[in-house]
Amino acid sequence: MTFDCKDLERALAVPELLPDAREHAKVCDVCRRELWLWGEMSAVAPGLREDWETPDLWPNIRQTLVAQQQAAKPRGWRGSFDWRMIAGIAAALTIAVSIFMMKYSRPTPAPGTPRDSDFLTEQTLKEVEQTEAAYRASIDKLTRLAQPRLSAAENPVAVAAREKLLVLDSEIDSMRSAVNHNRFNTQLQAGLAEMYRDKQDTLKEILQRAQ
């Protein structure tokens, strides 16, 4: 093959053509420089990496996580006092409920009939699922409004927004799949709700920017 300067671009994309390109570069200064530059870009690129010390970053993250864990746990020391009070109230309630049941006892419900506590949990779940459905309806509506603006724009902010929505959709899919396996997990449900809020906010922001 007779290699010409105009073949260089193709040779850079097809490694099999590189030996011909190198032969040609021996007699062509321009192509020699371009070939050198092509390799050198990869060689010097790792040096562009930014690295700096952040001694406070992990302690800050850890501190926030510890605070979140503590907030999620029952209260600690004041527990000794509160516990006695709660135990007293519980004992009084137990006695009152026992008296009430003895006085107004009803037949035992048939097996499979939900107990009050199960019913309350189911009720809460139902409300969460209704909220989720409302989020999804709102997001669908916002998506329909934002889509023409998003797909038309090519500026960095629109590109970033498109990419963010893709990432969010993927995260929502993962989280929904986890929620489907464990519908009563409060943390997963809260995480999913937060992602919906995030997507809703992102779409609103796109629409506000467009106005």
Residues of this chain that interact with another protein (CB under 8 A) are 9, 12-13, 33-34, 37-38, 40-42, 44-52, 54, 57-58, 60-62, 64-66, 69, 155-157, 159-161, 163-164, 166-168, 170-171, 174-175, 177-178, 185, 187-188, 191, 205
Least Å distance between CB 103 and another protein? Answer: 46
Q: Which is nearer to another protein, 46 or 112 (CB)?
A: 46
Cα 117 versus chain centre, distance:
32
Measured over the CA atoms of residue 199, residue 204, residue 207 and residue 208, the dihedral's sign is negative
Least Å distance between CB 94 and another protein? Answer: 33
Q: For residues 206 and 145, what is the distance between their CA atoms, to the nearest angstrom?
A: 10
Least Å distance between CB 173 and another protein? Answer: 9
Q: Which is nearer to another protein, 111 or 156 (CB)?
A: 156
Least Å distance between CB 36 and another protein? Answer: 10
Q: For residues 175 and 193, what is the distance between their CA atoms, to the nearest angstrom?
A: 10
Q: For residues 59 and 56, what is the distance between their CA atoms, to the nearest angstrom?
A: 5
Cα-based distances in Å from 60 to 53, 63, 64: 14, 5, 6
Q: Which is nearer to another protein, 117 or 177 (CB)?
A: 177
Tokens (6 digits) for 22? 């190198």
Least Å distance between CB 52 and another protein? Answer: 6
Tokens (6 digits) for 208? 């506000």
Q: Which is nearer to another protein, 86 or 190 (CB)?
A: 190
Least Å distance between CB 60 and another protein? Answer: 6
Q: For residues 50 and 119, what is the distance between their CA atoms, to the nearest angstrom?
A: 55
Q: Which is nearer to another protein, 131 or 182 (CB)?
A: 182
Tokens (6 digits) for 132? 């989720």
Tokens (6 digits) for 126? 């139902």
Task: Identify whether the C-beta of residue 23 lies closer than 8 Å to the C-beta of residue 3.
Answer: yes
Q: Which is nearer to another protein, 53 or 116 (CB)?
A: 53
